[in-house]
């Protein structure tokens, strides 16, 4: 199953940026900027962008951390997507961006490695198991006080786009994912404290974040 998903994303990597540009007419660049600005990351920070795809968030994060020799790990399980990221890094002559192939459910980093973990438009596409394990892994690799930020689409208003959004949840996720998409705060609260939720300037995406506090044992009573 994992292999079929990876194959799908490898194939998709050839069209991904074109489709996003067509669909959003640069609104996606503004969205990814909003995510990076909201993250509070700055010079010298160590950032992990999971499910990085073609690296749109990772490349912006690299600009925010480059003074002070910060680092950004751009992680994805699709080699096709990572090749696109690596090509952009070379074209822009950016330092400090490291593409890594791995699954979110098993992150190849020691505990407490990162100041911030980001994820743009991918949490709804993970299997419930990958998301569950992934959230535990994100918490593990964050430093104490570090933040996890995830951005996702709001339910679209236009009927056809709403239909496509629902198809995405149905085909990529599971019943548990649809529950997660309705309200992410409960599941995030099992791993992180200080859960915050806001709307992007366009109102079409939502941004959620949570903080790792060592000793926090979740919102389960």
Residue 140: its H or E element = helix 128-141
What is the CA angle 69-110-132, rounded to 5? 110
Exposure string over 70-83, b if 16+ CB within 10 A, otherwise e: bbbbbbbbbebbbe
The rounded distance, in Å, linking the Cα atoms of 155 and 166 is: 9
Cβ closest to ligand SAM, residue 46 vs residue 75:
75
Q: Where are the beta strands (DSSP E) in 154-188?
A: none
Cβ closest to ligand SAM, residue 163 vs residue 214:
163
* Residue whose entry in the numeric block shows the structure tokens 């952009």: 88
Q: Of 71-90, which residues contact ligand SAM (CB under 6 A)?
A: 76-78, 81
The angle, 0 to 180 degrees and rounded to 10, between the axes of the packed helices 159-172 and 175-182 is: 130
Least separation in angstroms between CB 49 and ligand SAM? 7
**Per-residue x/- marks for ligand SAM, 99-128, CB under 6 A?**
----xx---------------xxx--xx--
Cβ closest to ligand SAM, residue 50 vs residue 65:
50
Near ligand SAM by CB under 6 A: residue from 130, 150, 181, 188: 130
Q: Of 26-65, which residues contact ligand SAM (CB under 6 A)?
A: 51-53, 56-57
Least separation in angstroms between CB 89 and ligand SAM? 15
Cβ closest to ligand SAM, residue 51 vs residue 181:
51
Q: Of 144-203, which residues contact ligand SAM (CB under 6 A)?
A: none
Least separation in angstroms between CB 81 and ligand SAM? 4
Q: Give the nearest residue (CB) to ligand SAM.
A: 53
For the chain, give percent helix, strand, coil, nearest 5: 45, 20, 35
Least separation in angstroms between CB 200 and ligand SAM? 13
The rounded distance, in Å, linking the Cα atoms of 163 and 180 is: 18
DSSP 45: -
Q: Which residues bind ligand SAM (CB under 6 A)?
A: 9, 51-53, 56-57, 76-78, 81, 103-104, 120-122, 125-126, 130
């Amino acid at each position: 199953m994992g292999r079929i998903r990876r194959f799908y994303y490898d194939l998709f990597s050839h069209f991904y940026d074109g489709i996003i540009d067509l669909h959003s007419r640069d609104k996606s660049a503004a969205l990814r900027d909003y995510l990076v600005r909201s993250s509070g990351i700055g010079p010298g920070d160590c950032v992990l962008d999971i499910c990085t795809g073609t690296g749109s968030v990772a490349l912006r994060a690299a600009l925010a951390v480059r003074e002070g020799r910060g680092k950004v790990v751009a992680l994805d399980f699709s080699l096709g997507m990572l090749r696109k990221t690596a090509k952009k890094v070379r074209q822009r002559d950016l330092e400090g961006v490291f593409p890594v192939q791995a699954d979110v459910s098993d992150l190849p980093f020691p505990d407490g490695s990162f100041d911030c973990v980001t994820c743009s438009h991918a949490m709804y596409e993970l299997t419930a198991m990958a998301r569950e394990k992934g959230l535990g892994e994100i918490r593990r690799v964050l430093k104490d006080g570090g933040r996890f930020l995830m951005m996702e689409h709001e339910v679209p208003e236009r009927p056809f786009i709403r239909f496509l959004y629902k198809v995405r949840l149905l085909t990529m996720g599971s019943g548990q994912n649809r529950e997660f998409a309705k309200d992410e705060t409960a599941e995030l609260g099992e791993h992180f404290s200080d859960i915050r939720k806001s709307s992007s300037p366009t109102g079409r995406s939502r941004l959620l974040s949570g903080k790792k506090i060592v000793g926090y044992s979740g919102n389960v009573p």
